[in-house]
Amino acid sequence: MMTDIYIHQSDLNQLELCPESLRLKYREPVPERYNSDLSRGNVVHAAIEEVGRHMMVHGEATPINIIERRLEELMEADFANVEWWKQKQDTTAKHIRANFEAWYWGVAPELMPIAIEETFRVLLEETETRRIWLTGTPDWLNHDGRLLDWKNPKPKNMEPNKGFDMHAREMQKTDLQSTVYTYARSVELDEWSPKRFDLCLLMNGEVGWIPIERGPADWEALKDKCRALADLIQAPLSVWPHRWTSWYCNPDWCNHWAECRGKHYDGGAAW
């Protein structure tokens, strides 16, 4: 009997945070508590997507006066869903405006998309008993072949010259998203030369770039990682390893805290 296993790019990131949280997510997904950090990223992404789709049709960016009005509408609609304001609402709005304007004037003029937010599903491996599929949704595929992803870091990390180079080196070594997306692009093209994936960090009105190149060695290592996850999914285990050292192992972040580590503590908190 053939078994199909679907691994989303975000599943691999969740596995790094805590394997047990991923198992619980598979078993019973719990909606994430929507906070202002998520809202900041989602609103900026939505505005960038609208500009990109306008580029694909008209060959140029949406006029600034039109997209600025649209940005305000997107904020108003999205802010209505925020349950946890990690920063004040007006501070969040200020960061959204600054990040989008930095992208519009400093990034968009150099770009022309050929695909935006298009979901892929590609075969990673097939044996006699199972197929492993990778899925994901890149933010932007540029005309020059670069895959681009927009990040809106937390305000306290929005200082490009403070630790940015160290962060960039770490992302170049460990980033999973770039490996998954470049592998998928190689499958789609059936062409296996190294591919570019550029992280664009929008940081309180400043722009930082982290260029990442992935190639065949990275993709073979990815296959090992996905095989291991597929084995874990198929194993008859009632619990997966916990990762207490992760920042995610916290009642403020893990949606399954109360039924996992938190159930052993009075009031649900460990500290």
Using CA atoms, how far apart are residues 95 and 9, in angstroms rounded to an integer?
27
At 164, is the pLDDT very low, low, confident or very high (cuts 50, 70, 90)?
A: confident
pLDDT tens string 116-133: 999 999 999 999 999 999
Q: For each of the domains in the chain, give its residue range(s) and CATH number, in order of start.
A: 32-122+134-225 (3.90.320)
SS3 category, 139:
coil
pLDDT tens string 34-58: 999 999 999 999 999 999 999 999 9
Q: Is the pLDDT of residue 162 over 80?
A: no
What string of DSSP letters covers 43-78? HHHHHHHHHHHHHHHHSSPPPHHHHHHHHHHHHHHH
Q: What is the DSSP letter of 154?
A: -
pLDDT tens string 58-87: 999 999 999 999 999 999 999 999 999 999
Residue in this structure with the two tokens 């999914």, named with its chain if needed: 233
Q: Is the pLDDT of residue 158 over 50?
A: no
Q: What is the DSSP letter of 33?
A: P
pTM over 0.85: yes
